[in-house]
Amino acid sequence: MNIHEYQAKEIFRAAGIPVPPGEVASTPEEAERIARKFGGNVVVKAQVHAGGRGKAGGVKLAKTPEEVGSVAERILSLTIKDLPVKKVLVTPAADITTEAYVGVIVDRASKKPVFMVSPAGGIDIEEVAAKTPDKIRRHPVDPRYGLRLYEAMELGFFLYSDVRQARAAAKIMQQLYSVFIANGGSLAEINPLVTTPTGDVVALDAKMVVDDNELDRLPAIAALRDETSEAPSEVEARKANLTFIKLDGNVGCIVNGAGLAMATMDLVKYYGGEPANFLDIGGSSNPEKVVAALRIITADPNVKAILFNIFGGITRTDDVANGIVTAIKANPLKVPLVIRLTGTNEEIAVKILQENGLSAMTDMDEAVKKAVALATGKKAA
């Protein structure tokens, strides 16, 4: 789950990380009022779940409260990476001397939290990693001990030669690590971590992603979810208990089981297509889940063909067939449908489909090839 910058900043601030004050506005008037409180010279920042807001015009400096009003109006009318801006953070502008990057992620390869720090901050860290990899330091943390002071100091000196600043950064990184662990983070990031002309080290941006699996034991964090800032398809999928991730291709995939869903996507790509999504209807499916899955997928205008790939074990293929029939009766499809199913109650499923003018395949390769051909208009290679 993503949380907003202003929410992450509140959490960081409570942990002692130096973060400038700030308040959230959803109208230009409100933004202007907040700016007055801070003396006029502020930054107005779009609160959307997307990086690179600066480049997209979502972060702007303003010198007077009136200017804040017009800047906020412009930012509140923006759509950044398909996400409409509904709120802005108004925060006093800081004078920047240097911009660094500090982040910690859960790294699957080392099975540890890994710090990534760079004195070349502000811009995309991916760009730094690609062009000047020597400017990034990676440091795996032993979760039994956390980020110890000597490790934090070493990272601090990678960022700053000034002892005072290195110490300040080390303390911030230890605090960031605590926040990351305590809140079930899969990522916690400060970009930029700046130095000011007076030599202070301050976090000007804050980002945190929380592992969904942690939310049950962290109700206060779960309550930070802002559904108005999420893709509508992902909100609906979560409510229907479907694991869904929207992608950019045109073959809509409805599959049971995460492993089979991954294999299906691989095969779609292998035959020259691009999956429009990852969707796992789960082990024990009921017809309602299938109806919801079809509704979500058909709402995506990029989808040119829909592929069901169901391997019936606990999942009963007749449940899936009933779901397909119910969904199509309510909402006839505008794109071709390819159904592959095999396993539990297969004969019943095939009969249900046939009685409703649909057919099913049993071979996964053939089904994927057909779906790719239908989506691309080309015969699969």
Question: Angle at Cα 215 formed by Cα 213 and Cα 218, nearest 5°?
Answer: 135
Question: Angle at Cα 203 formed by Cα 21 and Cα 167, nearest 5°?
Answer: 125
The nearest distance, CB 92 to ligand GDP, in angstroms, is 7
58-97: contacts with ligand GDP (CB under 6 A): 59, 61, 93-94, 96
Quickly count helices (H) and strands (E) in the chain.
Answer: 13, 17
The reply on whether position 122 binds ligand GDP by CB under 6 A is: yes
Using CB under 5 A as the criterion, which residues of the chain lie in contact with Mn ion when the complex forms? 191, 205
The reply on whether position 187 binds ligand GDP by CB under 6 A is: no
Which residue in the shown chain puts its C-beta closest to Mn ion?
Answer: 205
Active-site option among 5, 32, 99, 189: 189
| 43 vs 268 by CB, closer to ligand GDP | 43
Q: Please list, residue by residue across 329-356, b when 16 or more beta carbons sit within 10 angstroms of its beta carbon and e when fewer do.
A: eeeeeeeebbbbbbbbbbeebbebbeee
The reply on whether position 280 binds ligand GDP by CB under 6 A is: no
| 191 vs 298 by CB, closer to Mn ion | 191
Tell me which of ligand GDP, Mn ion, none is bound by residue 307, counting a contact when its beta carbon lies within the kind-specific cut-off of 5 to 8 angstroms: none
The reply on whether position 43 binds ligand GDP by CB under 6 A is: yes
189-208: contacts with ligand GDP (CB under 6 A): 191-192, 204-205
SS3 content of the chain, % helix, strand, coil (to 5): 40, 25, 35
The nearest distance, CB 191 to Mn ion, in angstroms, is 4
- Cβ-in-10-Å burial (0-12, 13-18, 19+) of 381 comes to exposed
Q: Is 177 a catalytic residue?
A: no
Active-site option among 5, 6, 101, 177: 101
| 94 vs 231 by CB, closer to ligand GDP | 94
Residue whose token pair is 């990693």? 129
Q: Please list, residue by residue across 149-186, b when 16 or more beta carbons sit within 10 angstroms of its beta carbon and e when fewer do.
A: eebbbebbbbbbeeeebbbbbbbbbbbbbbbbbebbbb
Q: Is 6 a catalytic residue?
A: no
- Please name the residues in contact with 381: beta carbons below 8 A apart, sequence gap of 6 or more: 271, 272
The reply on whether position 99 binds ligand GDP by CB under 6 A is: yes
User: Could you give the residue numbers annotated as active site?
Assistant: 101, 189
Residues that bind ligand GDP (CB under 6 A): 43, 45, 51-54, 59, 61, 93-94, 96, 99, 122, 191-192, 204-205
